[in-house]
Chains A and B, each alone.
Chain A
Amino acid sequence: MNPKIERVLSRVQKPARYAGGEWNAVLKNWEQTPVKIAFAFPDVYEVGMSHLGLQILYHLVNERDDALMERVFAPWPDMEKEMRQHRIPLFSLESQRTVGDFDLLAFTLQYEMTFTNVLNMLDLAGLPLRAQERSAQHPLVIAGGPCAYNPEPLADFVDLFVIGEGEEVFPEIIDLVKNYQKHRDREKFLLQAAGIGGVYVPSLYLVEYKPDGKIASIKPSREGVPERVTKRVVKNFDAAPFPDKLVVPSTEVVHDRIMLEVMRGCTRGCRFCQAGNIYRPVREKRPETLLEQARELVKSTGYEEISLVSLSTADYSQVARLVGELLDEFAAQRINISLPSLRVDAFSVALAQEVSRVRKAGLTFAPEAGTQRLRNVINKGVGEEDLLRAVQSAFAAGWSAVKLYFMIGLPTETRADVEGIARLARQVLETGKRLGVPRGKLAVTVSVSCFVPKSHTPFQWEPQDTQEELNEKQALLKNLLKTKGIIFRWHDSRQSFLEAVLARGDRRLAAALEEAWRLGCRFDGWSECFRFDLWREAFRRTGIVPEWYAYQKYDYDDILPWEHISAGVSKKYLIDEHQRALKGILTGDCREGKCSGCGLCVTLEIAPELSGGKEVAPLQGAV
């Protein structure tokens, strides 16, 4: 270990975050490997190491002879202080080299509230923040992940964005970097990169604004640069590269278990949900493949738990069979199977019961809205009876605590909808009492977040509720939920406001983002670190009105800041969905066999991949 780093580690909290040396970490020969990539997760180690995407890319790159990938996470403020004081630049965990020595610095953008950490990591690495100030001696800074679907607030800081699934695009970028190493002409590299499908080079686009502040046009500034960048997706997901080894953290992380990705995508079509749109179509793996991957991972990691991950695991066509086979195979080794997300129905509870012979800690359901009317608006096909039946079977099966997730501030929401949340929560509590769950144990946690309108969703045109409105709704709920047995949790509306600003922002936000970072904003998603006062100050100093972004109601023919980025879902479909939402009309899930015409499959020349399930014929001419 580098003695300077080692000394500092003795003084910070949780030094294992920075020490490296975990099982299955890959340390390659630096001199003999042409392309060196630092994978940067702009949050703390425990969060970053829980991210499956990191493990997938890490494996994919390190499998190649011509490239290596090492990891770096955002240092917690105590560590940042030590690093700055002792002039230790941001370093990778594997070789403890400074990030500036790598060819590529690849960020994953999982949520907007990590943006100041991105800037902070660039600075700690000793790199100029702005892409145009960096030269051939600096690493290329790239970024991907869900927030890359509206990359504009980071457009000035990042050289190129990867839109869509990294497994597809990364190999092509690596090849191009090898070429770049011969000529070292950044501009040439970026121009060539812009020709790769799914690659967005923000410096090659010109954005013009109207007098009212809205966008007049977004145009490529050079020949050969596409007008729109469309996401890349993995086809034949069953055969997609999947790690047979995972880096096993030595210290506890948020998701500390084998993550077995059973499928990608979800087409339930919740209208607020960005993931549902950007990860389309649904692609399932075969149970045989998954069983084989589970076997390998159990051997190589020593984990005692396998979690079946996806956006909605209960929807996986073969879930019952898979769970049964995993239990049969691994019970003798005392390995648990877990399901991270449950659907609101009795089937899901039965599944959860099957896998958890042991802990009956708590079950989580997400009805999202308090009334049937509003659930129809958001296309959450869940009825009150579904929820009550689900909790009934949960209580009957021995669970005593349930957690309910709701959202406030959804489009068209009225007071009655908010009251509906409290009513539903009480009904759940009553159900528990009726079924004889012991008083002291019975607990219904009501967790309420604030709706944030996200790009590439049918609600992208909608404004966010004002903070005052959100606070009022929270106060109302607080009042209505003052009952023994109900625990009410809510999200800081100021954080949701900032999230909306960043999620809907354009390039002009760069100034405020940089100023906020300069003022000391870090880890904005962590309530103990969040400094709304500093953010306010940053907006004031840069003359940017954040409300303009969060509360903007867009027209369908407005040019949105992310207009030039396509998730493959057609604009026509999003408009239709928005209209149906306002009328409260439900739209079905195409995995049931009927395409709802989102246009994606035609555009990307793909079809849903269902394992032993129905064939779906994507509608032609829907785009």
Chain B
Amino acid sequence: MPRYRVQFSKEGPARFLSHLDLVRTTERALRRARLPLAFSQGFNPHPRFSFAAPLPVGVAGEQEYLDIELEKNISPKEIISRLNMVFPEGIRVKEARPVSDRAPSLMATLKKARYEVEMELSGPLTNSALQGCLDSFLALSAVEAATKKKDRQKTKDIRPGIYRLQGKVEQKKVVLEMELQAGSSGNVRPEEVCRGLLEKCGLPVLLQTCRIKRTGLFFEKSSDSRESGRTATEE
């Protein structure tokens, strides 16, 4: 069955949708688009589509990915224009291209995600102080973060999953850019990094003002790069 990889953004009011809301909204948009959808088997058939990685409520996404299965080939241009006519405010499709139906799922090949995080400052901070803070944070051999699994408090080390961390001070805000581990091998959440920066290095930020945007998703290079998703080298 023809499969298409669709790149979209989720911003504005759509930012406040949960992943489940996005699934629901996408199903209805796909139906409105009157595309020849492929349906799942079973008692309660649903159109077949899947996302690369869920976006938490309140987190915007600039370059998100979604695979859609159709029963017939449709030109990517047509897919883009039809979807943009039916998605609600804040969801925009930017790209679509066919992928092999044997290509591994987006979820399976996802490796890392890039985020842009804005926070208000709780005290004065210069760019060089920020840099010092980030450097000392990255120099830590381990950063424990609390996780909650089935009501049991646990900790995990997030340091190995922090691949890049940069930042600058802008007026009364700090803007961080980070690349973090994502996908089936493990997930580091940007909030965990922010909390670590505050607790371990005393970065003067107000965590509750944190505004997150996911700006990129990176996938493992597939052997057949023509049909893979965006690869780690691509952006």
Q: Report A's interface with B, CB cutoff 8 A.
A: 1, 7, 9-11, 15-16, 18-23, 25, 248, 250-252, 256, 299-304, 333-334, 358-359
Which residues on A sit within 8 Å (CB–CB) of B15? Answer: 19
Whole-angstrom distance between the Cβ of A303 and the nearest chain B Cβ = 7
In the bound complex, what is the Cα–Cα distance between A450 and B73 (angstroms)? 58
* Selected contact of A15 from candidates B25, B45, B58, CB within 8 Å: B58
Whole-angstrom distance between the Cβ of B116 and the nearest chain A Cβ = 15
In the bound complex, what is the Cα–Cα distance between A256 and B27 (angstroms)? 13
In the bound complex, what is the Cα–Cα distance between A302 and B209 (angstroms)? 36
Which residues on A sit within 8 Å (CB–CB) of B88? Answer: 21-23, 25, 248, 250
Whole-angstrom distance between the Cβ of A206 and the nearest chain B Cβ = 48
**Known: A21-B90, A303-B28, A304-B27. Is A251-B18 also a contact (CB below 8 A)?**
yes
Which residues on B sit within 8 Å (CB–CB) of A23? Answer: 25, 28-29, 32, 86-88
By beta carbon, the residue of chain B nearest A360 is B43
Contact at B43–A9, with CB atoms within 8 Å?
no
Contact at B24–A15, with CB atoms within 8 Å?
no
Which residues on B sit within 8 Å (CB–CB) of A16? Answer: 13, 16-18, 21, 57
Contact at A11–B21, with CB atoms within 8 Å?
no
B31 at the interface (CB under 8 A from A): yes
6 residue pairs, one from A and one from B, having the closest CB atoms:
A21-B13, A302-B28, A21-B89, A302-B31, A302-B32, A19-B13
* Selected contact of A250 from candidates B24, B44, B211, CB within 8 Å: B24
Whole-angstrom distance between the Cβ of B173 and the nearest chain A Cβ = 12
Whole-angstrom distance between the Cβ of A368 and the nearest chain B Cβ = 32
Contact at A299–B21, with CB atoms within 8 Å?
no
In the bound complex, what is the Cα–Cα distance between A21 and B58 (angstroms)? 14
B12 at the interface (CB under 8 A from A): yes
Which residues on B sit within 8 Å (CB–CB) of A1? Answer: 12-13
Which residues on A sit within 8 Å (CB–CB) of B34? Answer: 299
Whole-angstrom distance between the Cβ of B139 and the nearest chain A Cβ = 31
B68 at the interface (CB under 8 A from A): no
Within 8 A of A (CB), among B74-100: 86-90
Which residues on B sit within 8 Å (CB–CB) of A10? Answer: 58, 210-211
Contact at B21–A252, with CB atoms within 8 Å?
yes
In the bound complex, what is the Cα–Cα distance between A581 and B46 (angstroms)? 50
**A-contact 0/1 string along B1-39, CB 8 Å cutoff:** 000000000001111111011001101111110100001
Whole-angstrom distance between the Cβ of A25 and the nearest chain B Cβ = 8
Which residues on B sit within 8 Å (CB–CB) of A334? Answer: 39, 45-46
By beta carbon, the residue of chain A nearest B57 is A15
Whole-angstrom distance between the Cβ of A398 and the nearest chain B Cβ = 12
Which residues on B sit within 8 Å (CB–CB) of A301? Answer: 28, 32
Contact at A11–B90, with CB atoms within 8 Å?
no
B208 at the interface (CB under 8 A from A): yes
Contact at A302–B17, with CB atoms within 8 Å?
no
* Selected contact of B29 from candidates A21, A302, A304, CB within 8 Å: A302
By beta carbon, the residue of chain B nearest A248 is B28
**Known: A251-B21, A252-B21. Is A21-B28 also a contact (CB below 8 A)?**
no
Q: List 26 A-B contacts (CB under 8 A).
A: A10-B58, A16-B18, A16-B57, A19-B13, A19-B15, A19-B17, A20-B89, A21-B12, A21-B13, A22-B89, A23-B25, A25-B88, A250-B21, A250-B88, A251-B21, A252-B24, A256-B24, A302-B27, A302-B30, A302-B31, A302-B32, A303-B31, A304-B27, A334-B46, A358-B43, A359-B43
- Interface residues on chain B, number (Cβ under 8 Å): 34
In the bound complex, what is the Cα–Cα distance between A302 and B24 (angstroms)? 10
**Known: A19-B13, A23-B28. Is A302-B86 also a contact (CB below 8 A)?**
yes
User: Which of B12, B13, B32, B89 is the most central at the interface, judged by chain A CB atoms within 10 Å of its CB?
Assistant: B13
Which residues on B sit within 8 Å (CB–CB) of A358? Answer: 43-44
Which residues on A sit within 8 Å (CB–CB) of B86? Answer: 23, 302
**Known: A22-B88, A301-B32. Is A252-B13 also a contact (CB below 8 A)?**
no
Which residues on B sit within 8 Å (CB–CB) of A19? Answer: 13-17
Whole-angstrom distance between the Cβ of B206 and the nearest chain A Cβ = 11
Contact at A300–B32, with CB atoms within 8 Å?
yes
Q: What would 8 more interface pairs be, CB under 8 Å, given A16-B57, A252-B20, A303-B31? A: A16-B18, A19-B17, A248-B28, A256-B24, A299-B32, A302-B28, A334-B46, A358-B44
In the bound complex, what is the Cα–Cα distance between A10 and B206 (angstroms)? 13
Which residues on B sit within 8 Å (CB–CB) of A250? Answer: 14, 17, 21, 24-25, 88
Contact at B208–A11, with CB atoms within 8 Å?
yes
Whole-angstrom distance between the Cβ of B90 and the nearest chain A Cβ = 6
Contact at A9–B58, with CB atoms within 8 Å?
yes
In the bound complex, what is the Cα–Cα distance between A333 and B32 (angstroms)? 11
User: Which of A15, A303, A358 is the most central at the interface, judged by chain B CB atoms within 10 Å of its CB?
Assistant: A15
Contact at B31–A15, with CB atoms within 8 Å?
no
Contact at B209–A7, with CB atoms within 8 Å?
yes
In the bound complex, what is the Cα–Cα distance between A380 and B24 (angstroms)? 40
Within 8 A of A (CB), among B183-235: 208-211
In the bound complex, what is the Cα–Cα distance between A433 and B45 (angstroms)? 32
Whole-angstrom distance between the Cβ of B67 and the nearest chain A Cβ = 19
In the bound complex, what is the Cα–Cα distance between A458 and B16 (angstroms)? 48
**Known: A250-B24, A302-B31, A359-B43. Is A20-B18 also a contact (CB below 8 A)?**
no
In the bound complex, what is the Cα–Cα distance between A111 and B57 (angstroms)? 31
Which residues on A sit within 8 Å (CB–CB) of B18? Answer: 16, 251
In the bound complex, what is the Cα–Cα distance between A144 and B44 (angstroms)? 39
In the bound complex, what is the Cα–Cα distance between A91 and B21 (angstroms)? 23
Which residues on A sit within 8 Å (CB–CB) of B45? Answer: 334
Which residues on A sit within 8 Å (CB–CB) of B20? Answer: 252
Whole-angstrom distance between the Cβ of B28 and the nearest chain A Cβ = 3
Contact at B32–A9, with CB atoms within 8 Å?
no
Which residues on A sit within 8 Å (CB–CB) of B24? Answer: 250-252, 256
By beta carbon, the residue of chain A nearest B25 is A250
Contact at A9–B16, with CB atoms within 8 Å?
yes
In the bound complex, what is the Cα–Cα distance between A333 and B86 (angstroms)? 18
By beta carbon, the residue of chain B nearest A10 is B58
Which residues on B sit within 8 Å (CB–CB) of A304? Answer: 27-28, 31
By beta carbon, the residue of chain A nearest B34 is A299
Which residues on A sit within 8 Å (CB–CB) of B32? Answer: 23, 299-302
In the bound complex, what is the Cα–Cα distance between A16 and B12 (angstroms)? 11
In the bound complex, what is the Cα–Cα distance between A1 and B39 (angstroms)? 36
Which residues on B sit within 8 Å (CB–CB) of A299? Answer: 32, 34
Which residues on A sit within 8 Å (CB–CB) of B44? Answer: 358-359
Whole-angstrom distance between the Cβ of A249 and the nearest chain B Cβ = 9
By beta carbon, the residue of chain A nearest B58 is A10
Which residues on A sit within 8 Å (CB–CB) of B43? Answer: 358-359
Within 8 A of A (CB), among B119-156: none
Which residues on B sit within 8 Å (CB–CB) of A22? Answer: 88-89
By beta carbon, the residue of chain A nearest B210 is A10
In the bound complex, what is the Cα–Cα distance between A10 and B15 (angstroms)? 10
In the bound complex, what is the Cα–Cα distance between A69 and B126 (angstroms)? 49
In the bound complex, what is the Cα–Cα distance between A22 and B25 (angstroms)? 9
In the bound complex, what is the Cα–Cα distance between A537 and B15 (angstroms)? 42
In the bound complex, what is the Cα–Cα distance between A19 and B208 (angstroms)? 19
In the bound complex, what is the Cα–Cα distance between A9 and B210 (angstroms)? 12
Which residues on B sit within 8 Å (CB–CB) of A300? Answer: 32
In the bound complex, what is the Cα–Cα distance between A9 and B17 (angstroms)? 11
Which residues on A sit within 8 Å (CB–CB) of B57? Answer: 15-16
Which residues on B sit within 8 Å (CB–CB) of A18? Answer: 16
In the bound complex, what is the Cα–Cα distance between A561 and B46 (angstroms)? 53
Whole-angstrom distance between the Cβ of A81 and the nearest chain B Cβ = 14
Whole-angstrom distance between the Cβ of B75 and the nearest chain A Cβ = 22
In the bound complex, what is the Cα–Cα distance between A334 and B29 (angstroms)? 15
Which residues on B sit within 8 Å (CB–CB) of A251? Answer: 17-18, 21, 24
In the bound complex, what is the Cα–Cα distance between A7 and B120 (angstroms)? 11
In the bound complex, what is the Cα–Cα distance between A458 and B234 (angstroms)? 74
By beta carbon, the residue of chain A nearest B40 is A334
In the bound complex, what is the Cα–Cα distance between A251 and B22 (angstroms)? 8
Whole-angstrom distance between the Cβ of A83 and the nearest chain B Cβ = 16
